[in-house]
A = this chain, B = another copy of it.
Amino acid sequence: MTATLKNDRFLKALLREPVDRTPVWMMRQAGRYLPEYRATRAQAGDFLSLCKNAELACEVTLQPLERYELDAAILFSDILTIPDAMGLGLYFETGEGPRFRKTIRSQADVEAIPPFSATDDLSYVMNAVSTIRNALNGRVPLIGFSGSPWTLATYMVEGGSSKDFRTIKGLMYAEPETLHALLERLADAVTDYLNAQIEAGAQAVQIFDTWGGVLSPACYQAFSLTYMQKIVSGLKREHEGRRVPVILFTKNGGQWLERMAEAGSDALGLDWTTDIAAARQRVGDRVALQGNLDPAIMCTSESVVRREATVILEAFGKAPGHVFNLGHGITPDAKPELAKVLVDTVHEVSARIRNS
């Protein structure tokens, strides 16, 4: 059942082992910028139904790999599956982003969260992981993922997306013990969830801390990084005779890279506001780096994509430990033909740099 991995550049780069060329994937690579994704999504009915249907989730996961020579696939799912499984009632309002029918705003709310088991309560995710892993047949590694406890908590407390996070920050400053109780529950759940994905076939995992960057340094440490560190230390890091690398990504976390590098992950994701050469100097050889092209560039032109991707590759240089990616998810208005330009440029230019 476990086909030999034909392309392990991505896993090697995350472990800072030498590779012939820099591996590349794109956050949200299975997404609305692709017409075939929009067709499958229309067939599924809505976004959540697509996530819950293993065959269709597998189909959209593989779509970008048919077009581009990507070095990794990433599970098609949502970051809010855990709070949904905890009974909060996830739904999507057109143009409004995710919403929850119930919110968590008190100690009693936290205590009322039912017990969570990833294999029982999110079996549809594990089905998707094993279905995709089988379909990949060793072509490239499969990445599993979860939202970070802080990021999940923002949606659970606010009841959806937020501009200023006033409700969760109110809770954080006024009743920190309530928020810590919630984050403890989430850290345990995320650990269980990622371990279940690894058991089901995920060969690397990424923790998305989309909203850690809205915190002060002290609050980031206490309410986000601490819980990610706890998760990392509880993950199954060896599976199928191979190390399972872990990537931490805090959007707008560029000021805290040194601290993030101490949290035990194999790699850090960078958004585009950080210079990757400076980041490499700051974290030294403790972690690999993933990133960090501004996704806005995927709406421009071939020559701009080539130029800007080359700038990043040259800034990183030939040291081991670089996975090329965007600094955040590819947007719905990105031009699909530029994704091909990006992937091909990364391979060509990095082969030249790495063999020079």
Interface residues of A (CB under 8 A from B): 164-166, 169-170, 173-174, 213-218, 220, 252, 254-255, 272-275, 278, 294-297, 299-301, 304, 308, 311, 331, 333
- A214 to chain B: closest residue by CB: B273
CB distance from A173 to the nearest CB of B (A): 5
A174 near B300 (CB under 8 angstroms)?
yes
Number of copies: 2
CB distance from A217 to the nearest CB of B (A): 4
**What's the Cα separation between A272 and B255 when bound, in Å?**
12
A272 near B166 (CB under 8 angstroms)?
no
CB distance from A204 to the nearest CB of B (A): 26
- A301 to chain B: closest residue by CB: B174
CB distance from A166 to the nearest CB of B (A): 6
B216 near A273 (CB under 8 angstroms)?
yes
Residues on the B chain within 8 Å of A165, using CB: 296
CB distance from A254 to the nearest CB of B (A): 5
- A215 to chain B: closest residue by CB: B273
From B166, B218, B255, contact of A296 by CB (8 A): B166
Task: Give 7 CB contacts A-B under 8 Å.
Answer: A169-B297, A173-B296, A173-B300, A174-B300, A174-B301, A213-B273, A220-B273
- A295 to chain B: closest residue by CB: B164
B173 near A297 (CB under 8 angstroms)?
yes
A273 near B166 (CB under 8 angstroms)?
no
B304 near A173 (CB under 8 angstroms)?
yes
CB distance from A164 to the nearest CB of B (A): 6
CB distance from A33 to the nearest CB of B (A): 12
**What's the Cα separation between A257 and B214 when bound, in Å?**
18
CB distance from A180 to the nearest CB of B (A): 16
From B166, B216, B296, B304, contact of A331 by CB (8 A): B166
Residues on the B chain within 8 Å of A275, using CB: 216-218
**What's the Cα separation between A164 and B251 when bound, in Å?**
14
Residues on the B chain within 8 Å of A272, using CB: 216
**What's the Cα separation between A115 and B296 when bound, in Å?**
32
A174 near B331 (CB under 8 angstroms)?
no
A173-B308, A296-B166, A300-B173 known; A217-B274 Cβ under 8 A = yes
**What's the Cα separation between A272 and B166 when bound, in Å?**
14
18 additional A-B pairs beyond A169-B297, A217-B274, A252-B273, beta carbons within 8 Å, are: A164-B295, A164-B331, A166-B296, A166-B299, A169-B294, A169-B296, A170-B296, A174-B301, A214-B273, A216-B294, A217-B273, A217-B275, A218-B275, A220-B273, A252-B252, A255-B255, A255-B273, A255-B274
Residues on the B chain within 8 Å of A170, using CB: 296, 299-300
CB distance from A155 to the nearest CB of B (A): 17
A304 near B166 (CB under 8 angstroms)?
no
B166 near A333 (CB under 8 angstroms)?
yes
